[in-house]
Amino acid sequence: MKAWTVVDLFCGIGGLAHGFVQEGFNVSAGIDLDDTCKYAFESNNHSRFVQRNVELLTSSELVQIFGQSRRRILVGCAPCQPFSKYTVAESEDRKWHLLRSFLRLIIQLRPEIVSMENVPELEKHVIFHDFVEALEEHGYNVTECIVDTWRYGVPQTRRRLVLFASRLGRISILSPTHNGRRQKTVRSVIGRLEKIAAGENSESDPLHCARSLTDLNLRRIRSTPEGGDWRDWHPSLRLKCHKKASGKRYEAIYGRMSWDRLAPTLTTHCCGIGNGRFGHPEQDRGISLREAALLQTFPSRLRKNGLRDLGSLQSQ
């Protein structure tokens, strides 16, 4: 695959790029506005990190980054927060800028293959259908579908909208590799890691570190059984929102994962127990940064530039 050159827009610390590296592709560069991703991207992918706002990126710059390659793959996984169902409403025009910038670069550069993935909610918006239509008008064969990632070995209940566009012929989505009996579980991925307490760091693995908990939150997590949540607590431990009828909308927060099930969809703040069902199945803490990385299918040898990259990892 060395004949193919890949450039990764909105690359973060390079999870997608690393998949291409593992399959033998030549990753020329990753481009992202967040310079805290630089060390992790370059050290894990042996490729160049370019700090750049994709909205301001030009096709001429991309031509230079691709170099002499005539087999080019442009991938772009724009931050999903603007399209997520959890996002507070914002300017309709503003939140489409990144997708429009991606389309502009595709049309100007005309790479042989394009790929993107994002939250399924994006498919409901007119802007996505306009995006697909524009690709087809410029000679691309487009394949898009919503994928349950656990069917491909990801130990999460994570669904993603995946799109491939090719000027060389239609690309088919691979058949699932896992079924209910073969799915990876939380236990199979993180069950053998060293035990640590809230606020502790592993001496052998700096990424295996857990956030500290207040005395109140420590009491809460200790009152939560495996797979349980705030509904298992004594009423004195509950938050005000839990005491209202509307509290039933937040069933997963302060919850623990289950050992022998999939993890929930990991979000930007998945190392905090108050942000979802992100408590360790049995240890009294939230999941560690290493556990989050493994549940996101990052390799165990992943290196990062300290905890300031936490959000960059968790948003992949």
Which residues are known catalytic residues? 80
Which tokens go with 75?
């991938």
Cβ-based neighbours of 284, under 8 Å, separated by 6 or more: 197, 198, 213, 218, 221, 222
Asked if residue 9 lies in contact with residue 23, where contact means CB atoms within 8 angstroms, the answer is no
Largest pairwise CA distance in the chain:
66
Give burial (CB, 10 Å; 0-12/13-18/19+) of 52. middle
HEC secondary structure over 248-276: HHHCCCCCECCCCCCECCCCCCCCCHHHC
Q: Hey, what's the torsion of the CAs at 113, 118, 121, 125, to 10 degrees?
A: -40
Asked if residue 78 lies in contact with residue 116, where contact means CB atoms within 8 angstroms, the answer is yes
Which tokens go with 238?
């509950």
